[in-house]
Protein backbone atom coordinates (compact mmCIF):
# COMPACT_ATOMS: atom_id res chain seq x y z
CA UNK A 1 0.00 0.00 0.00
CA UNK A 2 2.81 2.42 0.88
CA UNK A 3 4.72 1.58 -2.31
CA UNK A 4 1.58 2.05 -4.42
CA UNK A 5 0.83 5.39 -2.73
CA UNK A 6 4.42 6.51 -3.38
CA UNK A 7 4.24 5.77 -7.10
CA UNK A 8 0.84 7.45 -7.39
CA UNK A 9 2.27 10.48 -5.57
CA UNK A 10 4.63 11.05 -8.51
CA UNK A 11 2.33 10.16 -11.41
CA UNK A 12 -0.69 12.09 -10.13
CA UNK A 13 1.40 15.00 -8.86
CA UNK A 14 2.92 15.34 -12.33
CA UNK A 15 -0.41 15.16 -14.17
CA UNK A 16 -2.21 17.63 -11.94
CA UNK A 17 0.33 20.44 -12.20
CA UNK A 18 0.30 20.59 -16.01
CA UNK A 19 -2.05 23.57 -15.86
CA UNK A 20 0.75 25.62 -14.27
CA UNK A 21 2.77 25.25 -17.50
CA UNK A 22 0.05 26.48 -19.91
CA UNK A 23 0.57 30.24 -19.71
CA UNK A 24 4.40 30.08 -19.40
CA UNK A 25 4.57 27.86 -22.51
CA UNK A 26 2.26 30.20 -24.43
CA UNK A 27 4.36 33.23 -23.42
CA UNK A 28 7.72 31.59 -24.19
CA UNK A 29 6.96 29.74 -27.42
CA UNK A 30 4.08 31.64 -29.01
CA UNK A 31 2.05 28.43 -29.31
CA UNK A 32 -1.64 29.32 -28.85
CA UNK A 33 -3.63 28.46 -25.74
CA UNK A 34 -6.01 26.42 -27.92
CA UNK A 35 -3.09 24.28 -29.16
CA UNK A 36 -1.77 23.68 -25.64
CA UNK A 37 -5.28 22.97 -24.38
CA UNK A 38 -5.75 20.47 -27.21
CA UNK A 39 -2.46 18.74 -26.37
CA UNK A 40 -3.48 18.42 -22.71
CA UNK A 41 -6.96 17.28 -23.78
CA UNK A 42 -5.40 14.52 -25.89
CA UNK A 43 -3.36 13.65 -22.82
CA UNK A 44 -6.51 13.29 -20.76
CA UNK A 45 -7.88 10.80 -23.28
CA UNK A 46 -4.60 8.88 -23.68
CA UNK A 47 -4.25 8.56 -19.89
CA UNK A 48 -7.68 6.96 -19.72
CA UNK A 49 -7.37 4.81 -22.84
CA UNK A 50 -4.00 3.41 -21.79
CA UNK A 51 -5.13 2.18 -18.37
CA UNK A 52 -7.29 -0.81 -19.43
CA UNK A 53 -4.60 -1.76 -21.97
CA UNK A 54 -1.82 -1.59 -19.38
CA UNK A 55 -4.13 -3.30 -16.89
CA UNK A 56 -4.61 -6.27 -19.21
CA UNK A 57 -0.85 -6.46 -19.81
CA UNK A 58 -0.21 -6.30 -16.07
CA UNK A 59 -2.70 -9.14 -15.48
CA UNK A 60 -0.65 -11.37 -17.77
CA UNK A 61 2.98 -10.23 -17.45
CA UNK A 62 3.24 -8.53 -14.07
CA UNK A 63 2.45 -5.02 -12.86
CA UNK A 64 6.07 -4.12 -12.06
CA UNK A 65 7.11 -4.44 -15.71
CA UNK A 66 4.31 -2.14 -16.79
CA UNK A 67 5.21 0.44 -14.14
CA UNK A 68 8.89 0.48 -15.16
CA UNK A 69 7.92 1.11 -18.78
CA UNK A 70 5.58 3.86 -17.58
CA UNK A 71 8.33 5.62 -15.63
CA UNK A 72 10.51 5.67 -18.75
CA UNK A 73 7.69 7.04 -20.91
CA UNK A 74 6.82 9.73 -18.36
CA UNK A 75 10.45 10.86 -18.08
CA UNK A 76 10.97 10.77 -21.84
CA UNK A 77 7.85 12.83 -22.47
CA UNK A 78 8.96 15.50 -20.00
CA UNK A 79 12.39 15.65 -21.63
CA UNK A 80 10.84 16.06 -25.08
CA UNK A 81 8.39 18.71 -23.84
CA UNK A 82 11.24 20.78 -22.38
CA UNK A 83 12.75 21.08 -25.86
CA UNK A 84 9.51 21.55 -27.81
CA UNK A 85 8.32 24.76 -29.43
CA UNK A 86 5.55 23.58 -31.79
CA UNK A 87 1.99 22.33 -31.39
CA UNK A 88 3.02 18.90 -32.73
CA UNK A 89 5.89 18.62 -30.26
CA UNK A 90 3.62 19.41 -27.32
CA UNK A 91 0.91 17.05 -28.58
CA UNK A 92 3.41 14.18 -28.71
CA UNK A 93 5.11 14.98 -25.38
CA UNK A 94 2.32 16.40 -23.20
CA UNK A 95 -0.50 14.66 -25.03
CA UNK A 96 0.90 11.17 -25.63
CA UNK A 97 4.13 10.13 -23.92
CA UNK A 98 3.67 11.68 -20.47
CA UNK A 99 0.01 10.62 -20.08
CA UNK A 100 0.77 7.07 -21.23
CA UNK A 101 3.62 6.88 -18.71
CA UNK A 102 1.43 8.21 -15.92
CA UNK A 103 -1.30 5.70 -16.84
CA UNK A 104 1.10 2.79 -16.31
CA UNK A 105 1.54 3.87 -12.70
CA UNK A 106 -1.95 5.06 -11.93
CA UNK A 107 -5.15 4.04 -10.15
CA UNK A 108 -6.28 1.01 -12.14
CA UNK A 109 -3.01 -0.89 -11.89
CA UNK A 110 -1.99 0.19 -8.39
CA UNK A 111 -5.38 -0.37 -6.76
CA UNK A 112 -6.02 -3.51 -8.80
CA UNK A 113 -2.75 -5.25 -7.93
CA UNK A 114 -2.99 -4.26 -4.26
CA UNK A 115 -6.60 -5.44 -3.98
CA UNK A 116 -5.56 -8.94 -5.04
CA UNK A 117 -3.46 -9.22 -1.88
CA UNK A 118 -6.11 -7.96 0.56
CA UNK A 119 -9.38 -9.34 1.98
CA UNK A 120 -12.57 -7.72 0.70
CA UNK A 121 -13.21 -5.85 3.96
CA UNK A 122 -9.88 -4.01 3.66
CA UNK A 123 -10.01 -2.97 0.01
CA UNK A 124 -11.99 0.25 0.36
CA UNK A 125 -9.64 1.60 3.03
CA UNK A 126 -6.61 0.50 0.99
CA UNK A 127 -7.95 2.26 -2.10
CA UNK A 128 -8.45 5.43 -0.04
CA UNK A 129 -4.91 5.17 1.34
CA UNK A 130 -3.36 4.72 -2.12
CA UNK A 131 -5.51 7.52 -3.50
CA UNK A 132 -4.32 9.80 -0.70
CA UNK A 133 -0.78 9.30 -2.00
CA UNK A 134 -1.77 10.85 -5.31
CA UNK A 135 -3.43 13.75 -3.53
CA UNK A 136 -0.31 14.32 -1.43
CA UNK A 137 1.67 14.46 -4.67
CA UNK A 138 -0.56 17.25 -5.92
CA UNK A 139 -0.07 19.12 -2.64
CA UNK A 140 3.72 18.81 -2.83
CA UNK A 141 4.14 19.34 -6.57
CA UNK A 142 1.96 22.46 -6.88
CA UNK A 143 4.08 25.04 -4.99
CA UNK A 144 7.43 23.40 -5.83
CA UNK A 145 6.69 23.30 -9.55
CA UNK A 146 5.50 26.91 -9.55
CA UNK A 147 8.69 27.89 -7.69
CA UNK A 148 10.87 26.21 -10.33
CA UNK A 149 8.90 27.78 -13.19
CA UNK A 150 9.17 31.23 -11.64
CA UNK A 151 12.85 30.90 -10.76
CA UNK A 152 14.32 28.90 -13.65
CA UNK A 153 11.67 28.70 -16.36
CA UNK A 154 9.09 26.13 -17.41
CA UNK A 155 11.69 23.93 -19.14
CA UNK A 156 13.61 23.34 -15.91
CA UNK A 157 10.33 22.56 -14.15
CA UNK A 158 9.54 19.94 -16.78
CA UNK A 159 13.00 18.37 -16.49
CA UNK A 160 12.59 18.11 -12.71
CA UNK A 161 9.35 16.16 -13.18
CA UNK A 162 11.17 13.81 -15.57
CA UNK A 163 13.84 13.06 -12.99
CA UNK A 164 11.24 12.32 -10.32
CA UNK A 165 9.53 9.86 -12.67
CA UNK A 166 12.74 7.84 -12.98
CA UNK A 167 13.08 7.70 -9.19
CA UNK A 168 9.93 5.55 -9.01
CA UNK A 169 11.62 2.63 -10.79
CA UNK A 170 13.26 1.17 -7.63
CA UNK A 171 9.85 1.21 -5.90
CA UNK A 172 8.28 -0.88 -8.67
CA UNK A 173 10.51 -3.83 -7.79
CA UNK A 174 8.56 -4.23 -4.57
CA UNK A 175 5.64 -5.46 -6.69
CA UNK A 176 7.49 -8.45 -8.10
CA UNK A 177 5.55 -11.54 -7.15
CA UNK A 178 2.53 -9.66 -5.80
CA UNK A 179 -0.57 -11.73 -6.47
CA UNK A 180 1.48 -14.80 -7.47
CA UNK A 181 1.41 -16.84 -4.26
CA UNK A 182 -0.21 -20.28 -4.32
CA UNK A 183 -3.39 -18.90 -2.72
CA UNK A 184 -3.60 -16.05 -5.22
CA UNK A 185 -2.99 -18.37 -8.18
CA UNK A 186 -5.72 -20.71 -6.93
CA UNK A 187 -8.18 -17.82 -6.54
CA UNK A 188 -7.34 -16.43 -9.98
CA UNK A 189 -7.67 -19.88 -11.55
CA UNK A 190 -11.10 -20.34 -9.93
CA UNK A 191 -12.31 -16.96 -11.17
CA UNK A 192 -10.81 -17.53 -14.62
CA UNK A 193 -12.62 -20.86 -14.87
CA UNK A 194 -15.90 -19.12 -14.15
CA UNK A 195 -15.43 -16.48 -16.83
CA UNK A 196 -12.81 -15.38 -19.36
CA UNK A 197 -11.90 -11.73 -19.86
CA UNK A 198 -14.06 -11.63 -23.00
CA UNK A 199 -17.04 -13.08 -21.15
CA UNK A 200 -16.50 -10.69 -18.26
CA UNK A 201 -16.41 -7.72 -20.61
CA UNK A 202 -19.62 -8.83 -22.34
CA UNK A 203 -21.29 -9.25 -18.97
CA UNK A 204 -20.09 -5.80 -17.87
CA UNK A 205 -21.41 -4.22 -21.08
CA UNK A 206 -24.89 -5.55 -20.23
CA UNK A 207 -24.77 -4.48 -16.59
CA UNK A 208 -26.75 -1.24 -16.12
CA UNK A 209 -25.08 -0.47 -12.80
CA UNK A 210 -21.64 -0.64 -14.43
CA UNK A 211 -22.80 1.66 -17.24
CA UNK A 212 -24.21 4.14 -14.70
CA UNK A 213 -20.84 4.09 -12.99
CA UNK A 214 -19.19 4.99 -16.30
CA UNK A 215 -21.57 7.91 -16.84
CA UNK A 216 -20.91 9.36 -13.40
CA UNK A 217 -17.16 8.98 -13.76
CA UNK A 218 -17.32 10.76 -17.14
CA UNK A 219 -18.52 13.91 -15.39
CA UNK A 220 -15.78 13.53 -12.77
CA UNK A 221 -13.17 13.60 -15.52
CA UNK A 222 -14.67 16.72 -17.09
CA UNK A 223 -14.60 18.50 -13.73
CA UNK A 224 -11.04 17.61 -12.75
CA UNK A 225 -9.45 18.15 -16.18
CA UNK A 226 -11.10 21.53 -16.61
CA UNK A 227 -9.89 22.71 -13.22
CA UNK A 228 -6.30 21.46 -13.41
CA UNK A 229 -5.90 22.86 -16.92
CA UNK A 230 -7.73 26.18 -16.70
CA UNK A 231 -8.07 27.23 -13.05
CA UNK A 232 -4.71 29.09 -13.21
CA UNK A 233 -5.92 31.02 -16.26
CA UNK A 234 -9.29 31.77 -14.69
CA UNK A 235 -7.62 33.15 -11.57
CA UNK A 236 -5.32 35.29 -13.70
CA UNK A 237 -8.39 36.79 -15.37
CA UNK A 238 -9.54 37.74 -11.88
CA UNK A 239 -6.28 39.63 -11.29
CA UNK A 240 -4.77 37.10 -8.88
CA UNK A 241 -1.05 36.17 -9.06
CA UNK A 242 0.22 32.79 -10.27
CA UNK A 243 1.15 31.82 -6.71
CA UNK A 244 -2.55 31.75 -5.77
CA UNK A 245 -3.19 29.18 -8.50
CA UNK A 246 -0.25 27.05 -7.35
CA UNK A 247 -1.34 27.25 -3.73
CA UNK A 248 -4.90 26.36 -4.73
CA UNK A 249 -3.71 23.24 -6.57
CA UNK A 250 -1.72 22.32 -3.46
CA UNK A 251 -4.70 22.86 -1.16
CA UNK A 252 -6.90 20.71 -3.37
CA UNK A 253 -4.37 17.92 -3.02
CA UNK A 254 -3.95 18.38 0.73
CA UNK A 255 -7.67 18.30 1.47
CA UNK A 256 -8.13 15.33 -0.82
CA UNK A 257 -5.78 13.34 1.41
CA UNK A 258 -8.41 13.70 4.13
CA UNK A 259 -11.21 13.13 1.64
CA UNK A 260 -9.69 9.95 0.23
CA UNK A 261 -8.97 8.45 3.64
CA UNK A 262 -12.44 9.37 4.91
CA UNK A 263 -14.24 8.00 1.88
CA UNK A 264 -12.13 4.84 1.98
CA UNK A 265 -13.19 4.30 5.59
CA UNK A 266 -16.83 5.13 4.89
CA UNK A 267 -16.90 2.79 1.89
CA UNK A 268 -16.47 -0.21 4.17
CA UNK A 269 -19.50 0.84 6.24
CA UNK A 270 -22.01 2.54 3.94
CA UNK A 271 -23.30 2.10 0.39
CA UNK A 272 -20.68 3.35 -2.02
CA UNK A 273 -23.25 4.57 -4.55
CA UNK A 274 -24.68 6.99 -1.97
CA UNK A 275 -21.20 8.24 -1.12
CA UNK A 276 -20.58 8.94 -4.81
CA UNK A 277 -23.91 10.77 -5.18
CA UNK A 278 -23.06 13.06 -2.25
CA UNK A 279 -19.56 13.78 -3.59
CA UNK A 280 -20.86 14.74 -7.02
CA UNK A 281 -23.69 16.90 -5.65
CA UNK A 282 -21.26 18.77 -3.40
CA UNK A 283 -19.23 19.82 -6.43
CA UNK A 284 -22.17 21.63 -8.01
CA UNK A 285 -22.77 23.55 -4.78
CA UNK A 286 -19.11 24.51 -4.36
CA UNK A 287 -18.71 25.66 -7.98
CA UNK A 288 -21.84 27.82 -7.60
CA UNK A 289 -20.27 29.41 -4.51
CA UNK A 290 -17.06 30.07 -6.43
CA UNK A 291 -18.90 31.85 -9.23
CA UNK A 292 -20.80 34.26 -6.96
CA UNK A 293 -18.19 35.05 -4.28
CA UNK A 294 -15.61 37.85 -4.60
CA UNK A 295 -12.36 36.52 -6.07
CA UNK A 296 -9.97 37.15 -3.20
CA UNK A 297 -7.07 34.83 -2.36
CA UNK A 298 -8.78 33.73 0.86
CA UNK A 299 -12.06 32.91 -0.88
CA UNK A 300 -10.25 30.96 -3.59
CA UNK A 301 -8.37 28.97 -0.95
CA UNK A 302 -11.66 28.15 0.81
CA UNK A 303 -13.15 26.90 -2.44
CA UNK A 304 -9.99 24.92 -3.25
CA UNK A 305 -10.10 23.17 0.12
CA UNK A 306 -13.78 22.37 -0.31
CA UNK A 307 -13.30 21.03 -3.83
CA UNK A 308 -10.28 19.08 -2.67
CA UNK A 309 -12.27 16.94 -0.26
CA UNK A 310 -14.14 15.33 -3.18
CA UNK A 311 -11.41 15.77 -5.81
CA UNK A 312 -10.21 12.19 -6.34
CA UNK A 313 -12.20 10.75 -3.46
CA UNK A 314 -14.54 9.33 -6.11
CA UNK A 315 -11.88 6.75 -7.03
CA UNK A 316 -12.12 4.40 -3.98
CA UNK A 317 -15.92 3.91 -4.13
CA UNK A 318 -15.83 3.57 -7.92
CA UNK A 319 -13.13 0.89 -7.75
CA UNK A 320 -14.95 -0.70 -4.82
CA UNK A 321 -18.21 -0.94 -6.76
CA UNK A 322 -16.46 -2.54 -9.73
CA UNK A 323 -14.92 -5.13 -7.37
CA UNK A 324 -18.32 -5.77 -5.76
CA UNK A 325 -19.98 -6.25 -9.12
CA UNK A 326 -17.35 -8.42 -10.80
CA UNK A 327 -14.69 -9.57 -8.31
CA UNK A 328 -10.97 -8.75 -8.53
CA UNK A 329 -9.76 -11.13 -11.26
CA UNK A 330 -10.14 -8.51 -13.99
CA UNK A 331 -10.38 -5.45 -11.77
CA UNK A 332 -7.43 -3.67 -13.42
CA UNK A 333 -9.12 -3.99 -16.81
CA UNK A 334 -12.71 -3.23 -15.76
CA UNK A 335 -11.77 -0.33 -13.52
CA UNK A 336 -9.41 0.85 -16.25
CA UNK A 337 -12.38 1.06 -18.61
CA UNK A 338 -14.26 3.30 -16.17
CA UNK A 339 -11.17 5.49 -16.12
CA UNK A 340 -11.35 5.64 -19.92
CA UNK A 341 -14.85 7.12 -19.59
CA UNK A 342 -13.45 9.45 -16.93
CA UNK A 343 -10.81 10.67 -19.37
CA UNK A 344 -13.18 11.11 -22.30
CA UNK A 345 -14.85 13.61 -20.00
CA UNK A 346 -11.38 14.91 -19.17
CA UNK A 347 -10.61 15.47 -22.87
CA UNK A 348 -13.74 17.60 -23.23
CA UNK A 349 -13.08 19.53 -20.02
CA UNK A 350 -9.52 20.46 -20.98
CA UNK A 351 -10.25 21.19 -24.64
CA UNK A 352 -13.56 23.04 -24.30
CA UNK A 353 -12.06 25.25 -21.61
CA UNK A 354 -9.45 26.45 -24.10
CA UNK A 355 -12.03 26.88 -26.85
CA UNK A 356 -14.31 28.89 -24.54
CA UNK A 357 -11.45 31.16 -23.54
CA UNK A 358 -10.38 31.74 -27.16
CA UNK A 359 -13.91 32.34 -28.46
CA UNK A 360 -15.67 34.03 -25.53
CA UNK A 361 -12.84 35.48 -23.45
CA UNK A 362 -14.00 33.72 -20.27
CA UNK A 363 -14.74 30.30 -18.80
CA UNK A 364 -18.24 31.16 -17.54
CA UNK A 365 -20.24 28.74 -19.68
CA UNK A 366 -17.86 25.87 -18.94
CA UNK A 367 -18.41 26.44 -15.22
CA UNK A 368 -22.16 26.19 -15.82
CA UNK A 369 -21.68 22.94 -17.74
CA UNK A 370 -19.55 21.61 -14.88
CA UNK A 371 -22.34 22.25 -12.37
CA UNK A 372 -24.98 20.62 -14.58
CA UNK A 373 -22.84 17.53 -15.12
CA UNK A 374 -22.11 17.21 -11.40
CA UNK A 375 -25.83 17.19 -10.59
CA UNK A 376 -26.48 14.64 -13.34
CA UNK A 377 -23.73 12.40 -11.94
CA UNK A 378 -25.25 12.56 -8.46
CA UNK A 379 -28.61 11.40 -9.81
CA UNK A 380 -27.32 8.65 -12.08
CA UNK A 381 -25.46 6.92 -9.25
CA UNK A 382 -28.62 6.40 -7.19
CA UNK A 383 -30.14 3.56 -9.33
CA UNK A 384 -26.92 1.48 -9.12
CA UNK A 385 -27.63 -1.96 -7.63
CA UNK A 386 -24.83 -2.41 -5.13
CA UNK A 387 -24.27 -5.99 -3.92
CA UNK A 388 -23.84 -6.52 -0.19
CA UNK A 389 -20.91 -8.87 -0.86
CA UNK A 390 -18.49 -9.27 -3.73
CA UNK A 391 -19.05 -12.27 -5.95
CA UNK A 392 -17.55 -15.67 -6.56
CA UNK A 393 -14.40 -16.49 -4.61
CA UNK A 394 -14.61 -13.09 -2.97
CA UNK A 395 -17.66 -14.13 -0.97
CA UNK A 396 -15.76 -16.65 1.07
CA UNK A 397 -13.13 -14.06 1.92
CA UNK A 398 -15.74 -11.44 2.84
CA UNK A 399 -17.64 -13.86 5.02
Domain ranges of the chain: 2-171+197-392
DSSP state of 268: T
150-200 pLDDT, tens per residue? 899 999 999 999 999 999 999 988 887 665 443 444 455 544 445 677 888
- d(C-alpha 158, C-alpha 148), whole Å: 9
Cβ neighbours of residue 206 closer than 8 Å, sequence gap 6 or more? none
Alpha helices in 154-271 (DSSP H): 154-166, 169-172, 182-194, 197-205, 208-237, 242-267
- d(C-alpha 4, C-alpha 393), whole Å: 24
DSSP string, 8-66: HHHHHHHHTTTHHHHHHHHHHH---HHHHHHHHHHHHHHHHHHHHHHHHHHHHH-HHHH
Q: What is the pLDDT along the chain (399 residues), one digit of tens a residue?
A: 899 999 999 998 898 888 889 889 999 999 998 898 889 888 888 888 888 888 878 877 888 889 999 999 999 999 999 999 899 999 999 999 999 999 999 877 888 788 777 777 777 778 888 888 888 887 888 889 989 998 999 999 999 999 999 999 999 888 876 654 434 444 555 444 456 778 888 888 999 999 999 999 999 999 998 998 888 888 988 889 888 988 888 898 889 888 888 888 888 788 899 999 999 999 999 999 999 999 899 999 999 999 988 888 898 899 889 988 888 777 778 887 888 898 889 889 988 888 888 888 889 999 999 999 999 999 999 999 888 654 444 443 333
Q: Does domain 2-171+197-392 have CATH number 3.20.20.80?
A: no
Amino acid sequence: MIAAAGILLVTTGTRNVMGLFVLPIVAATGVSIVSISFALAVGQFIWGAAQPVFGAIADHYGAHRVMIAGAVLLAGGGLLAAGSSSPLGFTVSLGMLMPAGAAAGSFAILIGITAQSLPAAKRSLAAGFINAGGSLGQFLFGPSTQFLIGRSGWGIGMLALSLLALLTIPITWLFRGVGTTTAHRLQRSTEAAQSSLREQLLEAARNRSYLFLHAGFFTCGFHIAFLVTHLPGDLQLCGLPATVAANSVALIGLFNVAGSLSVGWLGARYRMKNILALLYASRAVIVACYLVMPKTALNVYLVAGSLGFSWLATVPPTAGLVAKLFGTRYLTTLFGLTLLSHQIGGFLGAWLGGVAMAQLGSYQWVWYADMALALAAALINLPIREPALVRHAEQGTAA
